[in-house]
Chains A and B, each alone.
Chain A
Amino acid sequence: MARRQRLRSGACTVRLEPRSQTPAWLWLVAPLAALAFTLAVTSLLVAWSGAPVGRSYALLLQGGFGSRFAWTETLTRATPLILTGLAVALAFRARLYNIGAEGQLYAGALAAVAVGGLHGGVGWSLPGWLLFPLMIAVACAAGALLLLGPAWLKVRLGVDEVVTTLLLNFIVLLLVSAMLDGPMKDPSALGWPQSVAISDPLQLDKLIPRSRMHTGLLAALALAVALAGLLRHTTLGLEIRAVGANARAAAFAGMPVRTVAYKVALLSGALAGLAGAVEVAGRAGYVTLDMSPGYGYSGIVVAMLAALHPIGVVFAAVFVAGMLVGADSMSRAVGVPTYIADVIVAVALIAVLVATLGVRWRVRFR
């Protein structure tokens, strides 16, 4: 009886009972229910803007997934989201609440340009096959070091990493702004501040000609598989899962809890930093202040939608990217503001959280 629980709220009593066995149909129904709820709520908002609801959703899906062009755009957008999603999922698995992926992404992008864009894009006088790995490594290191600080403060002083990583996002963005105005400014760019570009050989190849989809997508997919393997089949993976499940129990079992926290911070920060380098090398070739429309923050949503599973991150990232791309084309056609994509993603996140709860617990009203 100890695990029975009753929670009173308002007039009715909500009681949660753990399910000893989850019926198979529930695994199917729960996500569908979350999707239906999301559609119901957001269709009210679409109707409010005065657009025809059915046609708007058709345009949204068509714009995100309806054609070859739509798919290339969606997958291009999904690439950084997979990487930041993996960064967040890994950190959250070990209960290191890294909300700083946005800052780490920019740090990685800035570091990539610092290496690959020296002397006006020529780089160091190193051969390309050496300069490219160096650029990626430095970008990863920049992101990793940016997260190592908050992780160290958490482990040593007990400073909440949520707040420190959040605040670092703002500091890094201002640093990027200062660099784009100063040492890394592209002298030939007029108007908007942008950095010098990395040299052409350092840019990633396109996967499909005449699209924006680049080989960074393959790297992101490979990393998702690698990370799933790491969590499932390695000692570090076991330690990460154990520390995340119960840090005290893990410590009693003799696991190096602090070292695990540092390793996770380095890996997570490196993934987010890589997202920045891949965006630079795969897209424009230079850094601007608006190169990331919140990829770091969306990475948190992606990770949560995927229930922190690396393979799930890929699908969640494609979903979120498809919504963003689809909302752009829907907005152009029927004038629904593009912010609807963010609303859809936010409602979907909350709906999925509740649906996941419903799978594991039986909710009783009395």
Chain B
Amino acid sequence: MGETLELMLAAPFWVAVLRIATPLLLGTLGVLLCERAGVLNLGIEGIMVAGAFAGWLTVYQGGGLWAGVAVAALTGMVFGALHAGLTVTLGLSQHVSGLGITLLATSLASYAYRVTFPKVDSPPTIQPFADMSSWLPLPVLNQQTPLTLLALLLVPALAWLLYRTPLGLALRMVGENPEAVEGQGLNVAHLRTGAVVAGSALMGVAGAFLTLAAFNAFYFNMVNGRGWVCVALVVFASWRPGRALAGALLFGFFDALQLRLQQAGSGLLGLQLPYQFYLMLPYVMAIVALLLVARRASYPQALMKPFRKGQR
């Protein structure tokens, strides 16, 4: 146990926590925005894959790193617009449409990768984001890339948008009581579509973090359920940006811990377990997180309910 404690107190451990938490935070904020407006977006897993690929390809073809981030966000917006068209405009099932988007985005990214690189054994690499140690005088944070800073800044920004602006009030209201929004003379479909498109942009950037900052290449299974974890984290966060940060960090903590425990060799409390059980830990924690808040989870009241004007 002493060895484990020592690991957790060292700075590199917290650097890893923050790095693992970054894509989860971006994705969770994206899901949060969609769900606050009343739209479940299960397309996140696929949108992250597509964002990771599009961002990486842009940089590989000679674009700048920030251009890659922008293209990833744009890719997310395209799939978000499709999801909004299917669920908001046409009122189709949000579950089914979201899963369809995930399937479509994942297969399109894989197909595009194989068409562009028909015969490569090892994935081509790019020069990823450098850390901020040259200009930022903060200890753990300066070991991160600017995308982590962006993600952290988005937390107060989104909180401000949701709780301090008229647009935020309308967005929250459209997820709780769309009839009331309609009564205010606001357009439900516009608000929801905007939220889904913007939220999906964040999901695209979350994927791009993986290829442009965490790794330097695109792999087929690199997202590996992170999108689904984000959907769980939003419930854990009670649909609040601040708690989303706490949830992502907690999750990053457990993921970093299991990585260290695998490497440490002594195992958890001296218990020798196959490495697969450590890899399970994040997914188990996500389910546990859902259970912990289950009793007091307050879903947005209109979540998953398509709004049709004049129909009750």
Contact = CB atoms under 8 A, between A and B. Distances in A.
Interface of A: 1-9, 14, 16, 45, 48-49, 97, 99, 153, 157-160, 162-164, 166-171, 174-175, 177-178, 181-182, 297, 300-301, 304, 335, 337, 339-340, 342-343, 345-347, 349-350, 353-354, 357
B96 A353 contact: yes
A14 B190 CA distance: 12
B295 A6 contact: no
A163 B309 contact: no
Interface string B15-35: 000000000000000000000
Contact of B235 (A6, A153, A160, A340): A160
Nearest to B104: A346
A99 to B, nearest CB: 7
Nearest to B107: A342
A167 B229 contact: yes
Contacts of A164: 287, 290
Interface stretch (B69-77, B123-131, B152-160, B275-283): B275-283
Interface string B126-149: 000000000000000000000000
Given A6-B309, A9-B88, A16-B91, A339 B107 contact: yes
A54 to B, nearest CB: 19
B7 interface: no
Interface string B265-281: 00000000010110110
A16 B90 contact: yes
Contacts of A9: 85, 88-89, 189-190, 193
Residue of A1, A6, A343 with most partner-chain B CB within 10 A = A343
B11 interface: no
B104 A347 contact: yes
14 contacts: A1-B310, A5-B309, A153-B290, A163-B228, A164-B287, A167-B283, A171-B284, A178-B274, A339-B114, A343-B107, A350-B82, A350-B86, A353-B100, A357-B90
Interface string B200-233: 0000000000000000000000001100110110
A1 B309 CA distance: 11
B92 A353 contact: yes
Contacts of A4: 310
Report the contact-size class of chain B (Cβ under 8 Å from the partner): 35 or more
Nearest to A166: B228
Contacts of A162: 42, 95, 231
A340 B283 contact: no
Scoring B86, B115, B232 by chain A CB atoms within 10 A of each residue's CB, the highest score goes to B115
A337 B310 contact: no
Contacts of B115: 48-49, 337
Nearest to A301: B103
B85 to A, nearest CB: 7
Contacts of A177: 276
Given A3-B311, A97-B95, A166-B228, A153 B291 contact: yes
B108 interface: yes
A1 B108 CA distance: 42
A353 B310 contact: no
A8 B84 CA distance: 12
A1 B92 CA distance: 22
A2 B312 contact: yes
A158 B290 CA distance: 10
B279 A160 contact: no
Interface in B172-191: 187, 189-190
Nearest to A294: B103
Contacts of A6: 309-310
Contacts of B225: 166-167, 169-170
